Structure 1
Amino acid sequence: MPADHATPSTGSSSGRVGLRVFVEPQQGATYADQLAVARAAEDLGYEAFFRSDHYLKMGGASGLPGPTDAWLTLAGLARETSNIRLGTLLTSVTFRHLGPLAISLAQVDQMSGGRLDVGLGAGWYADEHTAYGIPFPPLGERFDLLEDTLGALEQLWAAPEGETVTVRGRRVDLLDSPGLPKPLQTPPPVIVGGHGKRRTPALAARFADEFNVPFADVDTVAGQYRRVDEACAERGRPPGEIVRSAALVLCCGRDEAEIARRADAIGRDRGELRASGAAGTPSEVVDTIGRYAAVGASRIYLQVLDMSDLEHLELVASEVARQL
């Protein structure tokens, strides 16, 4: 749904690369932890604060104190921050019925003064569904639901006030919906992402303002961007209308000791992080981001796994961002 406000981008490496902070609260974080990171990110000049939308810790222990709901969290942050953009990578369409989801999105956009980016996906983590009694249909049905959701949101947001919307989808039907409330943005930017080779690029070409590839090497990311280009060509849409982004695990330090300390804090190997993430000294991180920019990424989501380490954000803001 190309948004009126969306800035066309070819993803050229000659342009500025924006940095966004991305956290995983289901691994064990309170609302207060997230607020501290969001405020720090805002004060330090990052473009956005994003969080995952998950209900169960991945790997290891229980994830105390337990999960926080993504949209309750973003509603709170909308009132406790001023200018940083907010969003999810990615909200699974299995978690919430379409109508209530549309209401939540519009309300958070209003509460934030129009700072919401809407990231939607088909979902993948079966265990969180069974742990919390959420239906988890087969993959094809989940993609049908994602397509229905993206299409219905487009219609709900575009309908003038006073007119109703009826949607007949593969998995979702809406009958005479008032399409209210309306988001403040007309409409909010939509993010589609993932590694799927067929339906994911097709949905991005049809609906997305941004396409994100998470936690992949440069060649994989470039391949996904090419598939989006091809899908855009099939639809007759200029591929430059879609911002290209990537998500990378962050582990930056001034020297090897600091890098090792941060890698140990998140239970990861320095070599593995250097190979697959934004890791190493500030100069190494700049070089890594440059390689993604060279294949079209104009926006990088830095996954911050140790949310207590606000000095990590300060280091990247002062030593990495200024070089981009």
Structure 2
Amino acid sequence: MPRPFRFGVTMLADSGSRTVWQDKARQVEDLDYDVLLLPDHLSMPAPFPALLSAAEVTALRVGTSVLNAGFYRPALLARDVAEADQLTEGRLELGLGAGYAEAEFVAAGLPFPSAGKRLEHLADTVGELRRMFASGSPAVYQQPGPPLMLAGDGDRMLRLAATEADVVGFAGWSLAKPGVDPQKALAERVEFVRVAAGERFGRLELNLLVPAVSVSGELDLSVVRRTAPDLDDEHILRMPSVLYGSAQQIAETLHGYRQELGLTYFTVLDLHMTEFAKVIKQLR
């Protein structure tokens, strides 16, 4: 049996008041998503308090997409993760990344190490979290710990994800480079993970972040253009993470991604969650 689909929403908008934020969480649930996710940027809501607030009024799973490991010491992060896992009664999913925005490190009063050092800190953090959760101090609700997602595109990051994560996240736009077929690029990255994971590959859930969706006809490419300014529209429209067409056509595309690449977990931005909900209806 193929792995079932899962669908998440990454919330970018300010949480506003408690009432406004919880209404947004209810909307995510009403649209039949599985997971509500928050990124980790200084200009956005603090992830753990906002996730706990969303979990209070929904049955959604909640998660980070993704925490900047460079902002945290492992013991302090373990405490926050364990408490959030307990208070949500096992609905927490932990996404971690190495951090990339130098300006945010500076604003936080932290040094900005090299990419290799940031990745080394991420790997150490993953190891320490696993060790502490296995020891029972701090105690987590889910055993042996909340599902771990590691997201990235480079060889070192994907090798770490393949060997340590439960969920491997692919950020589709960063795979697209001028002169490179984006569909082939994603297939190559998935194959890299397959080889690096070895026998554990079958247990991995593969996630694709979708920055642009259109079922109604008008496709907003502003997010992709900001993150991939060197690409023309023709190239952007060939990216596997840019979905447009009828709800049925997009559903067929996702069925193809599952069959050919093993991708089953798709995350959209809150900007597009109502549009993508039309696709979800075709896939449930």
What's the TM-score once normalised by structure 2's chain length? 0.82
Structure 2 Cα separation of the partners of residues 208 and 267 of structure 1: 26
Aligned partner of 2:177 in structure 1 is: none
Are 1:249 and 1:273, in contact at CA under 8 Å, matched by a contact in 2? Answer: no
Inter-partner Cα distance in structure 1 for 2:17 and 2:254: 30
2:186 paired with 1:221: yes
1:92-241 map, 5 Å = 92-160=68-136, 179-180=137-138, 182-186=139-143, 187-197=145-155, 199-216=156-173, 217-233=182-198, 237-241=199-203
Verify: 1:281 aligned to 2:259, yes or no.
no
Label 1:271 to 1:284 Cα distance change in 2 as closer, same or farther (>3 A). Answer: farther
SS in 1 for 2:71: coil
SS of residue paired to 2:211 = strand
The 1-side partners of 2:222 and 2:188 are apart by: 32
Q: Write the distance in 2 (CA, Å) between the matches of 1:266 and 1:132.
A: 25
Match for 2:54 among 59, 77, 102? Answer: 77
Does 2:266 align with 1:290? no
Contact 2:40 2:67 (C-alpha < 8 Å) held by counterparts: yes
Segment of structure 1 superposing worse, 140-149 or 14-23: 14-23
The Cα of 1:150 is off from its aligned counterpart by 0.4
Larger of the two Rg values belongs to structure = 1
Whole-angstrom distance in 1 between the partners of 2:141 and 2:268: 27
CA distance in 2, matches of 1:146, 1:77: 27
User: What is the aligned counterpart of 1:316 among 271, 276, 281?
Assistant: 276
Q: 1:154 and 1:290 mapped to 2: Cα distance?
A: 34
1:24 maps to which residue? 12
Query: 1:51: Cα distance to partner?
Result: 1.6
Which residue matches 2:229?
none
Q: Find the aligned partners of 2:110 and 2:249 in 1 and give their Cα distance.
A: 42
2:38 maps to 51
How far apart, CA to CA, are the structure 2 residues paired with 1:108 and 1:210? 19
Counterpart position of 2:228: none
What secondary structure is seen at the aligned counterpart in 2 of 1:238? helix
SS of the counterpart of 1:113?
A: coil
SS in 2 for 1:45: coil
- CA–CA distance in 2 between the matches of 1:21 and 1:271? 26
Structure 2 CA distance for aligned equivalents of residues 85 and 18 of structure 1:
11
On the 8 A contact 1:121/1:192 being kept in 2, the answer is yes
Distance 1:144 1:267, change over 3 A: closer
CA drift at 1:130: 1.6
SS in structure 1 opposite 2:9? strand
State the Cα distance separating 1:271 from its structure 2 match.
6.3
Residue-pair matches, total? 264
The TM-score, its normalising length taken from structure 1, stands at 0.73
CA contact (8 A) 1:189 1:210 kept: yes
Instruction: Give the Cα separation in 2 of the matches to 1:156 and 1:129.
Output: 26
Deviation at 1:94, TM superposition (A): 0.8
Q: Matched residues, percent identical?
A: 26
Does the CA contact (< 8 Å) of 1:191 and 1:209 recur in 2?
yes
Aligned residue for 1:320, secondary structure, equals helix
**TM superposition shift of 1:121:** 0.9
Structure 1: gaps of 5 or more residues? 1-11, 57-66, 161-178, 307-311
Q: CA deviation at 1:76?
A: 2.1
Change (3 A) 1:21 1:79: same
What is the aligned partner in structure 1 of residue 267 from structure 2?
301
Greater helix share, structure number: 2
